[in-house]
Amino acid sequence: MTGKPELTMNNSSTLGDISSWLFGFIALAIGIINTFWGNDPGYGIFILLLSFLYFPPITSLIKKITGINIPLWAKVILGAFIIWSAVGVGELFDKIDLMMKDL
């Protein structure tokens, strides 16, 4: 057996992990900003909790405990919801301006 398919799977897995970590940190930042500088801390905490679904150690822990694997399509839809709600409804850029004024 050649090492090429294994190498391809390893590279896509690494790319998936990196993108998952990156979006997890972005969603975490959105949650923190909305919790402390928004007018709805409940929304911020909700986004903060959803951000943990993107971190690979948390995802593997959920799979280990419950046996449920979160599919990629669900993460993409959830990510689109987070971005849409933060930018459109949550007025993220206004909250970032408030945060920068406080610093």
Q: Which residues, at least 6 apart from 69, have a Cβ–Cβ distance to it below 8 Å?
A: 59, 63
Asked if the model's pLDDT at residue 2 lies above 60, the reply is: no
Q: How far apart are CA 63 and CA 25, in angstroms?
A: 21
- The number of domains in the chain is 1
Question: Model-level pTM?
Answer: 0.79
The mean of the pLDDT values for the chain is: 85
Domain extent, residue 77, equals 4-102
Q: What is the pLDDT of residues 18-33, one digit of tens each?
A: 999 999 999 999 999 8
Q: What is the pLDDT of residues 43-65, one digit of tens each?
A: 999 999 999 999 999 999 999 99
